[in-house]
Amino acid sequence: MYRMILSDLDETLLVHHHVPKFNQEAIKQLQNVKFVPATGRSFPMIEEILKEIGTSQKAHEYSICFNGGLIVENQNAKILSFQGLTFAQAQQLFDLGKNYDVCIMIFTLDHCYLFKADPTEIARKTAQKAAFSVIDDDYIDFLKNEKIAKFLYVKPDMDYLKCVEKDLPEDIKKQFSISYSSYRYLEFNPLGVSKGAALKWLADYLHIDCQDVIAIGDNYNDISMLQEAGLGVCVAGAHDDIKAQADYVTEVDYDQGAVKEVIEKFILRGDSHDEI
């Protein structure tokens, strides 16, 4: 019996940065099954989303942010686990990023900073209602005393980003958990941080067997949680190499109700993993 669902947000649960009514209604039918967003976004960026799914400011309801770097109990934004980058690590990535044709994005717990800002990313952050600043300076010393959560290279060109990753020095590749999301982000988290690790941490915290967890996603930063969950689900519109990591691929894409489909099939109707 499934007791918890972890869902990615962008290109999985959300349509135009909001939870569509069909997903909201399906989530509200859940009984004794926790619904946990698992996202690369910061916690302040998902407050409106939590209101839409009915878990905002509620005790015993949870969110996974920064690809697993932050795990929060929603009431009073209580931090249960945080794993961030050191300033020295951020400086390394910042200096390297100057060599590439990318926008650089750095997240602290509650703010986002854009360097070499891409206009499409400014528009995206505005639509996401993120607290962000565009920085024209070529240094990050002002972040020395901040809690740095995540570092990204941004370009809506996955082939280019994959070339950047291949070009990175080996000592960088060994220092960080590197992943992709939204087909525009090359993301750097502390080594060992992933949505899969966060799934396991939260399941242990709640005394839930990982086999009783469903994980739903669409992108490379979701693969670890698809593999860790008892049932890993990929939405229909994802790339084939991500679908290959899933136990089940939805019949419809995210904007047609993929999350709704999973809730109805495996929770409300009660289909099991063995019946796939």
* Tens digit of each residue's pLDDT (9 = 90 or more) over 195-247: 999 999 999 999 999 999 999 999 999 999 999 999 999 999 999 999 999 99
pLDDT tens digits, one per residue of 235-253: 999 999 999 999 999 999 9
Q: What is the CATH number of domain 87-190?
A: 3.30.1240.10
Please tell me the predicted confidence (pLDDT) of residue 103.
98
- Per CATH, 4-82+194-275 and 87-190 having the same topology is answered no
CATH classification of 4-82+194-275 is 3.40.50.1000, yes or no? yes
3-state secondary structure the chain: CCCEEEECHHHHHCECCECCHHHHHHHHCCCCCEEEEECCCCCHHHHHHHHHHCCCCCCCCEEEEHHHCEEEECHHHEEEEECCECHHHHHHHHHHHCCCCCEEEEEECCCEEEECCCHHHHHHHHHCCCCEEEECCCCCHHHCCCCEEEEEEECCCHHHHHHHHHHCCHHHHHHEEEEEECCCEEEEEECCCCHHHHHHHHHHHCCCCHHHEEEEECCHHHHHHHHHCCEEEECCCCCHHHHCCCCEECCCCHHHCHHHHHHHHHHHCCCCHHHC
The domain ranges of the chain are: 4-82+194-275, 87-190
